[in-house]
Amino acid sequence: MLPPDAGIGYLFVLPLVVLVLLLIAYPLGSAVYLSLTEKYVGYPPRFVGLKNYVELTGDPVFRKVVWNSAVFTVASVTVKLVIGLLMALSLHKALFARRLVRGILLLPWVVPTVITALAWHWMFDALRGFINVSLETLGLISEPIAWLGQPATAMMAVVVVNIWRGFPFFGVSLLAGLQAIPADLYEAAAVDGASATQRFRHVTLPGLRPVILVTALISTIFTLNDFNIVYVMTRGGPGIATHILATYTYEVGFQALRWGRAVAVSMYLMPLVVVMIVVLARRLTRED
């Protein structure tokens, strides 16, 4: 039996339900449907079931793209977390001109991604770039390093740029987390004779865990969907050495004109992301 004011309750949530259906469920449902069709630009879609997914699974280029995306995402998020944590710890301590330093450290996050990518592209240039010219001037290298011309260094380069752009997000989030940890916990630990390392391990890290989880999750999703950095710096090259899901989706959709397959590329890792979100959400709830 519904309570007497249930109708009012449903009325209040109705706008939200409509919004969710319009803005999330419909586009997502359309995307899933498109991924199950053979949809070529300019032609009507034809339902083909899981054909796109099966073909992608067997496609060595796509498998390489998935691997590249995993390397790009895991390496970027891990290093961003470490640097962001160091940034937060430094800013948390009393520091001369703390506000100024905090502002400067936020700059990479503020600069438009395309500008960032172009600037780093020039710095990594083999013949005229700042990095090689500096290394040569210091006598550390005798011939230029093709940073963007070799698979390993090209991947490293796009990861570095993603880290440079993204670590302030971790820093600011973790700083907020640090400031929320009660000072008396540190005092109690100090009274009990805990060293600085022990205080970090048993007070700081547990206190930051929810923030770390949320920040890492958000950053993982954004990094997995990053397009600009790779497109501007390498276009996925050399060859397909830095091709990631976003750039590959663009190539399949807008150059090969195969929209059904392009949507399947972008949906391929959706189950993994959903599982990640559910697991992390549950963990967070349990922590709370």
Partner 1 sequence: MIAVTGRRLGLGALAVLLLLGAGAATPAQAQKPRLRVWLLRTYVPDANKALEASIAEWGRQKNVETSVEYFTFDDIETKYVAAIETDSLPDVGQLQTISPSRYHGMGRLMDVSDVVADVERTNGPLLDSALPAIRFGGRFYAVPFNYITDVLFVRTDVFRKAGVPYPKTWEEVREAARRIKAKGVMEYPLGQSWNRSADGYGVFQALLYSYGGGWADARGHYKSIMNDTWRAVVRWASEIYTKDRTVPPDAMAWTGFGNNEAFLGGKIAMTFNGPSIYYVLEKENRPLLPDTLMLVKPAGPAGQNHDVFLLSWGVFNGTKHAELARDLVRFLMSPDEARKYMYQSWGQMVPAFEKLRRDPYWQKNPSYKAVLEAPSHAHTPGYPGPLTPAAAEVVATNVLTDLCARVIVEGWDVERALEEADKRIRDIYATVPSR
Rg (CA), the chain: 24
Tell me: does residue 128 bind partner 1 (CB under 8 A).
Answer: yes
- Count of chain residues binding partner 1 (CB under 8 A): 40
Tell me: does residue 149 bind partner 1 (CB under 8 A).
Answer: yes
Tell me: does residue 108 bind partner 1 (CB under 8 A).
Answer: no
With contacts defined by CB under 8 A, name the span among 117-125, 170-178, 210-218, 276-284 that binds partner 1.
117-125
Cα 102 to the center of its chain, rounded Å: 22
Q: Which is nearer to partner 1, 147 or 169 (CB)?
A: 147
Tell the smallest beta-carbon distance from residue 252 to partner 1 (Å): 8
Which of 63, 98, 201, 235 is close enough to bind partner 1 by CB under 8 A?
Answer: 235
Closest CA to 91 of 180, 189, 179: 179
Tell the smallest beta-carbon distance from residue 76 to partner 1 (Å): 19
> Which structure tokens are listed for 252?
């399949």
CA angle 59–63–67, rounded 5-degree value:
170
Residues 61-90, interacting with partner 1 (CB under 8 A): 61
Q: Which is nearer to partner 1, 52 or 219 (CB)?
A: 52
Closest CA to 226 of 239, 211, 244: 244
> Which structure tokens are listed for 66?
């998935």
Contact 40, 258 (CB under 8 A): yes
Q: Which is nearer to partner 1, 127 or 191 (CB)?
A: 127
Per-residue binding letters, 15-44, with partner 1 (x by CB under 8 A) = -----------------------x-xxxx-
Residue type, 111: V
Q: How far apart are CA 208 and CA 210, in angstroms?
A: 6
Tell me: does residue 119 bind partner 1 (CB under 8 A).
Answer: no
Contact 232, 288 (CB under 8 A): no
Tell me: does residue 226 bind partner 1 (CB under 8 A).
Answer: no
With contacts defined by CB under 8 A, name the span among 83-91, 93-101, 192-200, 248-256 that binds partner 1.
248-256
Contact 234, 244 (CB under 8 A): no
